[in-house]
Structure 1
């Protein structure tokens, strides 16, 4: 079958005569036959959005076992087996296996929690088949099908309108524009993408009115589908943490191999060991410098971050995204529904008699109307009562308040919903008034005259209630209501009205004008003669309602925190320039000096011009999906770590391209959620700030872990250095098995406790870390090796020689075997472990006093400390295990010495932190 789309473009669909379009689509206004529809279903497939091919579960599982750090663990296990420690070699491999399974399970759970199929297309559509209207599943829709639309329906396909009555379409999922688009059969190009007056698009929603339309494209051929396809083509870049861990693994591998080679050569040349024995000795040193606990600790730190973020309404789909959040330097944020509530609210009323303010924002009716800070009773204010009457009567929207939901259900348009809420705040009894003043006729809104009129019976006369845009309505008015009196409208009145309207517009507020007239009523036969031309003239102007989509209440504090954290926020919206800048300035994203760049201007900008513009304060308005993608891409080429927020289909490509895509969980489309790395379950921008704080904390905690495990490498290596320097006269104070006891046994739980450490004070007052900074930096190496490591080495070496001194050294040679030697190595091992107890507490903060954090506030660290002491006791006193690990029972005075060791180490470090805080107050 020939593709009926081949000869048409989107422009042709909108502009060609309807008869010609129907001919191209090979259909009629009565729809397709079932036979023809079946053929087209075979050709075009189901009307649904196809998801990108999911990754193989087997590959997803195996990737957890072939990362660089995982390979290093496999190798370290193999080395342990080569050194004769088969049990510990197997233990290392088991750690790798358990960690891999855990990582896979965490990511699998996160994916399950966010795995939702497309729900934006309606389940059923009223379609004409074989000349009869039928209720069909929307997935069965094909090009050429004719279907009906009414308020509350989702549009099932891109379509051309055949008939329309007061139809308004909420296109915010595609455009980001808050105000619904009025549509009609006549073609008008409109402003911006998706604004053709006679075309409706899949995934949008009917806010008001009814229509009949013919489907022109379905499934992946719709604009909705094209954006989804663009999103699926984007490959997710490797996260900064993954890159950093890969780099760290290479560094550790080179260090461990370098030390191993050096010790291998030294063992041969200095101690004159045989090659085989020297090789095993060198392998032991490599094992000592491989942080076997790094991968599980990093994974668990990330997993704990995911769990904490979930409690703060941020659902992370990929573990590595947690840390990437902490590096974020720029947030590209949509406006509607993200920074604002997506709830139009009337906040001012302008009447000839005065200006009124309305309290309470959003779709909440617990507010008041005030004038000069005094509550107003509409019953005593004729001008206000007349405006409220028109707002209530000339309205097709209802607001339903469900007990189990915080947000009321709107059946209609946001603009009319704002008017409904306004009348409710005033206490206006709409239903009672309508009983006495029934609607007899409606002259629907259309985009040509931009007005809507309803006609109501008021006894022996008719009330003609009109609302619309000021520019179109004011010229139809000859009089004005002022303090209850009707007088001719003057040029001074018109100037005052227009000046007020312009003042509101510059603040990003939208106005709606109201007017009316009364005419004698002679009976229902009169209604046919009441046309637009006859009743929408010589009207009495009443006033303006001024409305806006209010910012979220918590957004102000969230924006302030971002600025303190040196994170730039760039608004990228489909809304108008004035509205975008007004909101951005109001909530503090930018100053009034910010440059506003529209989508059309962005198209004309070169990459260099865009980069230059992005360096300053900037707002993007009236942008299309591919333009959001361009902005994010350009920021990334400038070295920025970009988080892009959004909820609409139009946001999906940018969400996928960004380092962190953040979708809204409540109002967000499933395409956006599918593309995002993180979903906000409360649609709260403030949750992003909390998530960024968690991300920074995770990175900080990983560095604390590295500091903790590397400081034990020095006392693990010093015994071998003593053995070499003495040319073998000093027997090894620590065996390879005992080294692995520290690395895989006693160090693990305190390290995991460091991964659960709470954010340090002031972490959100620092700039995001530089891309040139690394986990293993000079400060960490110096602190681990030259400070913590030096203390532990000194203490453990002294402990070794102290036991030997008790055994007769130096008068007698150092023992190389027997109970005395085993007790000496046990004391060395125990000294390292108790030094690590102090290190675990010291590593909890970089500059802040642990006493300020709360000495016992991190229960996991103390649980780890208790565990390592118990493990040491088991190794020391359990027969059978003593032989395997070359340990021997310690005496009471040994334990007294060991329990005293952590105290001076802890206090000395507290003194160092105090000196640093004194010299550098900004670190406090």
Structure 2
């Protein structure tokens, strides 16, 4: 029998049959029987998926395709006779692997610290007596006690209940608590059975006794966790793209190596061994040894910046995936909204009042025509506030650190308490004057709650609140402008129309009423029907879970960035659409699909619906997962957000799963790639911007390093194809000096570059758009590369010209040759200074972004100039790298080189920018 049918069985059977099926009773189990069942069913705990071993995680950072290429290139360097170079390449690989492992381990530790656990203790009935046990020792058949504030430890059937309300948002995503009673009612939506409670949810108000029928992984909480754990995560888009890039660069390097090998043999007449070593050196030179550490640093910098913006990333590669996101499947409650029921309007027959301020923070007021009112100033408001605050069992305790207040009771009643505070009402002071004498608790049948208070020496007052339809029918009088009169049909129509108007806006109404009775009546013998009849209708309070204040701007930024947001919630269709339209998520024309409708749709119909404006309401966990999967089938890169266990399967399936850190369940956090420590949707938008910046930075780095390969290759091409008549203008060791020495730190600085100002005004990059694309190759090889090649080659011939060329042959050795090769190396180093600055932005002026805003790049520039200087003046090193001290005029020429190159590129960017604007 599947889980759904088991739930129906326990919900629909009478309690005697439930006891019989579970071989238990109202007195619970004996301790001996509980011990036996614990051995049979196991601990009442959610088993976590087997974690990858630390050793496997460790070695994974050294076995990526790019890492393997570096191991091989290091080996080639050793074989070609450059042991020091081989060791240097291997060290780069080792340091990068250790850094990646440390970053991901730190993220995992932070995630583990955030995870919330299920309740620790529960009061059970064993051997007919109440005792406290560890919730992990609870077994099917155990009878246990629940009260306000308790987390529910197992899926259970209610035996008895008093004013029981349960917050099931962690399981079904609904912001309004569910009323729970002994009587069966199937309810609307998932997990709505009135006499069942579920593991991982919380008691908001009231008390109850329940009998557990499922524990641990057999609970709905456990079932969804299991569904999540069975999913396998595919490699990230960045991993796939880096593997593709590695193959491309390997093909390029090997092809160049083969060409140089053939050219060295046939044109320069090198013996095969010498030509082979020369070709190997060129292959190593064309492999971007700095790519892997730059990618890692870019990701790590992104992680660091995102952590400051309250987004904790568990895996480095997830940072870049965010930048590709085209669709965000977002939960509503607690993600787009505050998960804090709030009163927005008060309606009385005499007029409407606006309640300002959101959430449980007492920072608003009640206004009439934008003028603040205290409850004493208006008799109708006075009475309504009095009912809302006194006919109320909830209290709101402000947080000491300014965070979310602690609610002792239900969110609905908490919103009424806060409303009263905004009106200047002091509940404790008023209770002294009008003490509570009796309570008629809320129940799901009559949907009302009443309290009886002493009014004066001769009268009592009965205060009643409840659903509009169930309260208005108990009223035969109405209060307007402080006067009580008989309620007419016109009054009922007026109130009904107001209630319908609020409902159409997704607001939930609650009616307030009262009556005054003589003290000669025995209130303790008075029935509920007697107490709640012939009431005076006062008005309505209307409430909703308000959107987060920052969500409006976040949604606009997503739309500018061509990112769609699809709301997927367990709440009602009306509430979902109201919130979506209010925050600008969709237009009023958006289609709203319920879970029931979704169940009947084929995947093809769903994929078609997902291409248009759509909202999903009353969805089950499996359906949320299905929505994400079909978005991906449409070619979308999907980020899915959520905080409840019901969100976990979708979080795991999504390209990037985003869990809430404060309100999220441990199952949701475990399934996610990223955790928002402030539960703020706006942090997702900031994280997406960082993700886009990371990918852009990797591409900037790639452009930069490929640029230097062109002026490195051209001198060798001149040497080879002139059959040696043009002496080698640049040696292999000098080429490797640029790749592993002078270029490395500036390139790493590019990895830490902040996002361009227009990053979030661009659409997400397409999946088929690769790192090494046409734009990168044109810019690197045909623009920056050719400019650098022309300047460095000209520097070589200029030195020879100063010393008699072309009347004399080009020097093949000696001081002139050494100065010429040193100038070629210097020209490449200083043109790369210009290139690294030019690569910082794509179309925006580097001066607009801030010439000195990236200090890491300037540290790299200073390092490469100092390294070049050391290579030219240090005995021993000069011979190894074929360098010599330069003249003062040479240094002036080199230091001036970057200026025209930067200005020339600024002109190019200006033309591109203005061409786009004209179009």
Matches for 1:319-358 after TM superposition, within 5 Å: 319-358=316-355
Aligned partner of 1:191 in structure 2 is 188
Aligned partner of 1:533 in structure 2 is 529
Q: 1:849 to 1:610 in 2, by over 3 A?
A: same
Question: Does structure 2 conserve the Cα–Cα contact (< 8 Å) formed by 1:49 and 1:118?
Answer: no
Q: Distance in 1 between matches of 2:600 and 2:4?
A: 30
Which moves more between the two structures, 728-737 or 298-307? 728-737
**Is 1:738 matched with 2:716?**
no
Task: For residue 211 of structure 1, give the secondary structure of its aligned residue in structure 2.
Answer: strand
Aligned partner of 2:864 in structure 1 is 868
Listed one character per residue, the Cα deviations across residues 865-914 of structure 1 (whole Å, up to 9, x for unaligned) are 11001001111111121222222222222212211222222222122222
Matches for 1:110-259 after TM superposition, within 5 Å: 110-116=107-113, 119-259=116-256
Question: Does structure 2 conserve the Cα–Cα contact (< 8 Å) formed by 1:116 and 1:670?
Answer: no
Aligned partner of 1:303 in structure 2 is 300
Q: Distance in 2 between matches of 1:559 and 1:96?
A: 41
**Is 1:911 matched with 2:907?**
yes
Task: For residue 191 of structure 2, give the secondary structure of its aligned residue in structure 1.
Answer: coil
- Taking only aligned residues, the RMSD between alpha carbons, in angstroms, comes to 1.6
Task: For residue 168 of structure 1, give the secondary structure of its aligned residue in structure 2.
Answer: strand
Offset, 1:801 = 2.2
Q: 1:7 to 1:335 in 2, by over 3 A?
A: closer
Task: For residue 827 of structure 1, give the secondary structure of its aligned residue in structure 2.
Answer: helix
Offset, 1:429 = 2.3
Offset, 1:5 = 10
Aligned partner of 1:564 in structure 2 is 560
Question: Does structure 2 conserve the Cα–Cα contact (< 8 Å) formed by 1:300 and 1:752?
Answer: yes
Matches for 1:779-794 after TM superposition, within 5 Å: 779-794=775-790
Which moves more between the two structures, 336-345 or 362-371? 362-371
Q: 1:826 to 1:595 in 2, by over 3 A?
A: same
Aligned partner of 2:65 in structure 1 is 68
Q: How many residue pairs are counted as aligned between the two chains?
A: 918
Question: Does structure 2 conserve the Cα–Cα contact (< 8 Å) formed by 1:799 and 1:827?
Answer: yes
Aligned partner of 2:645 in structure 1 is 649
Listed one character per residue, the Cα deviations across residues 21-45 of structure 1 (whole Å, up to 9, x for unaligned) are 1111111111111111111111111
Offset, 1:352 = 1.4
Listed one character per residue, the Cα deviations across residues 658-714 of structure 1 (whole Å, up to 9, x for unaligned) are 111111111111211111111111111111111111111111111111111000001
Which moves more between the two structures, 94-103 or 533-542? 533-542
Task: For residue 35 of structure 1, give the secondary structure of its aligned residue in structure 2.
Answer: helix
Q: Distance in 1 between matches of 2:555 and 2:913?
A: 28
Task: For residue 441 of structure 2, give the secondary structure of its aligned residue in structure 1.
Answer: strand
Q: Distance in 1 between matches of 2:190 and 2:892?
A: 78
Stretches of structure 1 that go unaligned for 5 or more consecutive residues are none
Listed one character per residue, the Cα deviations across residues 740-787 of structure 1 (whole Å, up to 9, x for unaligned) are 110011001111111122221211111111112111111110111111
Question: Does structure 1 conserve the Cα–Cα contact (< 8 Å) formed by 2:155 and 2:214?
Answer: yes
Structure 1 length normalisation: TM-score? 0.97
Q: Distance in 1 between matches of 2:613 and 2:499?
A: 28
Q: Distance in 2 between matches of 1:755 and 1:722?
A: 33
Match of 1:544 among 537, 540, 545: 540
Aligned partner of 1:404 in structure 2 is 401
Structure 2 length normalisation: TM-score? 0.98
Q: Distance in 2 between matches of 1:886 and 1:118?
A: 59
Q: Distance in 1 between matches of 2:5 and 2:907?
A: 77
Q: Distance in 1 between matches of 2:801 and 2:2?
A: 93
Q: Distance in 1 between matches of 2:798 and 2:386?
A: 96
Question: Does structure 2 conserve the Cα–Cα contact (< 8 Å) formed by 1:370 and 1:376?
Answer: yes
Task: For residue 839 of structure 1, give the secondary structure of its aligned residue in structure 2.
Answer: helix
Aligned partner of 2:828 in structure 1 is 832
Q: Distance in 1 between matches of 2:120 and 2:912?
A: 64
Match of 1:313 among 310, 314, 325: 310
Q: 1:323 to 1:176 in 2, by over 3 A?
A: same
Q: Distance in 1 between matches of 2:197 and 2:678?
A: 30
Listed one character per residue, the Cα deviations across residues 358-391 of structure 1 (whole Å, up to 9, x for unaligned) are 1111112232222233322322422222212211
Matches for 1:671-682 after TM superposition, within 5 Å: 671-682=667-678
**Is 1:897 matched with 2:893?**
yes
Aligned partner of 2:389 in structure 1 is 392
Listed one character per residue, the Cα deviations across residues 285-326 of structure 1 (whole Å, up to 9, x for unaligned) are 211211110000011011001111111111111111111111
Match of 2:665 among 669, 673, 680: 669
Match of 1:518 among 516, 541, 544: 516
Question: Does structure 2 conserve the Cα–Cα contact (< 8 Å) formed by 1:120 and 1:203?
Answer: no
Question: Does structure 2 conserve the Cα–Cα contact (< 8 Å) formed by 1:37 and 1:142?
Answer: yes
Aligned partner of 2:429 in structure 1 is 432
Aligned partner of 1:109 in structure 2 is 106
Q: Distance in 2 between matches of 1:24 and 1:135?
A: 25
Q: Distance in 2 between matches of 1:374 and 1:6?
A: 55
Offset, 1:117 = 7.7
Offset, 1:512 = 0.3
Task: For residue 745 of structure 2, give the secondary structure of its aligned residue in structure 1.
Answer: helix
Task: For residue 424 of structure 1, give the secondary structure of its aligned residue in structure 2.
Answer: helix
Q: Distance in 1 between matches of 2:4 and 2:192?
A: 22
